A = this chain, B = another copy of it.
Amino acid sequence: MSHVLSKNSYGKSHVRLSKVIRHGDRHDLMELSANIELEGEFAESYTKGDNSRIVATDTMKNTVYALAANHKLDSIESFAQSLVEHFLQKYSHVAAVTVSIQQDRWLRIDHNHPHAFVSGGDEKRICKISRRRTGTATQRTGGIDGLVVVKTANSAFTGFLRDQFTTLPETSDRIFGTSVRAEWIYTPGPHDFNSIYDRSRSRIIDVFAKHKSMAVQETEYEMGKAVLDACPEIEEISITLPNQHRIPINMQPFGLENKNEIFVPQDEPFGLIKATVRRG
């Protein structure tokens, strides 16, 4: 019997980095975690243990550090782009490079402090830049992960299908909690990535707060439309919304009434709603 190595790739994950950009009396802080993945002529390492074409993943890590020293790190997208270019230019036997980065969210203390920051939580800004030496154009995505929101009004869920396994009651007034993951595809051309991120995040939060939701699905689609309207630089957006349920507690066994006030938050199971919206 013969075997074929039909696909292979390798790289370094979770390369973490802080950069302090020192502007006179004011500092900027960028903290990120990068993943690098290479495809190319590496088969002989797999099939023969010949490492002569292998860029050690430790070298990839060092490359992230070294390039960060001379890059202004104005956005994770531009830094990822420079890493992609480095590996493609340096090694002719590399066929494709993918760099994905997630950035921590630091907020200035008192909105304005020159060098002290408080965590904005586990929410991340994300990007992925992928380029193949030949053929297709560079693929560039940006996004948000872990934007946790909840609303206590203007969310209903009625009129759904009922079958022999349906026990869920209809509700015209439920709690809607979720953790937004949004990933958008950039149109070609130079962009102000930070401005796009700001507009997208702001529109997503705005729709969440204002939309009278008849379904998580509907709110998700409205978010996608709002981002496309606010950002001509985005050609497509995919959003994933877990439904982080708050279940009303049945108080009748205790002789009490639950006036839609007391709920149990549940981690699992959870509904998971996905949509991709693009320009028509």
Contact = CB atoms under 8 A, between A and B. Distances in A.
A8 interface: yes
A88 interface: no
Given A218-B49, A262-B17, A10 B271 contact: yes
A260 interface: yes
A6 interface: yes
B218 A46 contact: yes
Interface string A248-280: 010101111110111111111111111111111
Total identical chains: 4
B5 A277 contact: yes
A209 interface: yes
Contact of A47 (B48, B110, B221, B261): B221
Q: Is the interface of A mostly helix, strand, loop or mixed?
A: mixed
Contacts of A154: 115
B6 A277 contact: yes
A106 B209 CA distance: 14
Contacts of A278: 3-4, 6
Nearest to A114: B153
Contacts of A265: 16-18, 31
Given A6-B276, A17-B264, A164-B255, A209 B113 contact: yes
A134 interface: no
A151 B115 contact: yes
A150 B29 contact: yes
A165 B91 CA distance: 13
Nearest to A213: B49
A261 B89 CA distance: 26
Nearest to A70: B256
A128 interface: no
B46 A217 contact: yes
Given A18-B263, A18-B264, 7 more contacts: A4-B277, A5-B221, A10-B271, A11-B272, A19-B262, A37-B272, A68-B262
